[in-house]
A and B are shown apart, each in its own frame.
Chain A
Amino acid sequence: MSEFYEGMAEILEVDPSVISSAFELHGGEAAWDSLAIVSTIALVDDCFGVMLEGKALTNCLTVADIESLISQAKKG
């Protein structure tokens, strides 16, 4: 389990075992609200040293979408 997935589980208030790229942020058990987005910005900065934009994170549907933003930011 990566530090990023562990952090995402904590932010989304779900069991770490359910987090994968396919995990749906707007699914019933997750809490993808403004606080979660703010916390994700800090988590991604900590794990990958890149800063994501709140608006782009708001539009993410799955953890894979966040990972894609991280890849883009690393290249950028």
Chain B
Amino acid sequence: MKNATARLKDIAVYLPDAVLGNDELASLYPEWPADKILEKTGISERHIAAEGQTAGDMAYEAARNLFAQGHVTAQDVDFIILCTQAPDYVLPTTACLLQHRLGISRQAGALDINLGCSGFVYGLSLAKGLIETGSARCVLLLTADTYSKYIHPMDKSVRTLFGDAAAATAVVASDDGKEYVGPFVFGTDGAGGKNLIVEAGMYRQPKNAHTAIEKEDDSGNVRSSENLFMNGAEVMAFSLKEVPKAIEQLLEKAKIAKEDVDYFVLHQANKFMLEALRKKLKIEKDKLPILVENCGNTVSSTIPVALHKLQTQGQLKKGHQLMLVGFGVGYSWAACMLVF
């Protein structure tokens, strides 16, 4: 009997209730008026997790939304993958807690993966591996992050960009013999780790009185080493260098012409980065969507959030040939083909 292949069955999204708009940000950073923030970043609002609301809580809500959509039930799930960089505890694994909270079978596997903007594509590759080796039939791929909890309120370089969100994606076994997910290309460059980092709070640098000291940088942004730091210039240079290469490698590996891809769904970092990439890649505007306006950069959830939005807007149809590209913190990147 031929092995099953992995197929993306359904996606659901959860955005926390609280909204941070550009007017509020502009009142804190007078040099960046609200219209400039929107024009440059493409973002008009970000959703922010409530105090005490964790990535695990948001992943739970996203999974509940997925089950409510009716294509997959909690009983179907036999493997949970949670991608987050803000787990509920140092231990146990948040995915294990979600198995219990969601009423998923005790025969299901569960694990967390710690990746940021590349995490959804890595999660898909793991789900494909589990399904196509016969180890699972229905993988619940959860992405959830609460970067807002790491961001200093007076750091406009990141507070204007990032929002909190979770997404739940069902990847299931298909027995029709067709390939839906893959091939993949991956990349890693740990030398860039320092350019997008929360330095203090784990074991390399535990929190102490010194790590809590706030400093102002040359651009007037305030943060301590317990906060998220992003060297925007370096991250932009990395993205312009590696993303086009990864896309070329994948097109070659998949033996697909650029013109035959219906949508290039890239990690939704922000408008200026996506426009720079679109220009460099010479891809038509309609084929490389920018969908950050109502949620900002939601880290590992940007790709499923974008897919969900394209689907609900009626742009994405079954059978569409997509390329997904995740890239960022690590540095880590990955790209894959996906037949929707």
Q: Which residues of A contact B (CB under 8 A)?
A: 31, 33-35, 37-39, 41-42, 45-46, 51-55, 57-58
Contacts and interface: CB of A to CB of B under 8 A. Distances in A.
Interface of B: 31, 40, 157, 218-219, 221, 231-234, 236-237, 240-241, 272-273, 276, 279-280
Contact of B231 (A45, A52, A54, A57): A54
Contacts of B237: 41, 45, 51-54
B280 A54 contact: no
A42 B233 contact: no
A58 to B, nearest CB: 7
Looking at chain A's contact residues, is the secondary structure mostly helix, strand, loop, or mixed? helix
Contact of A53 (B219, B233, B272, B273): B233
A41 B240 contact: yes
Given A41-B236, A54-B231, A35 B218 contact: no
A41 to B, nearest CB: 5
A53 B232 CA distance: 11
The 3 closest A-B pairs by CB, nearest first: A54-B233, A42-B276, A34-B219
A51 B219 contact: no
A41 B235 CA distance: 10
B232 A34 contact: yes
Nearest to A32: B219
B277 to A, nearest CB: 9
B156 to A, nearest CB: 9
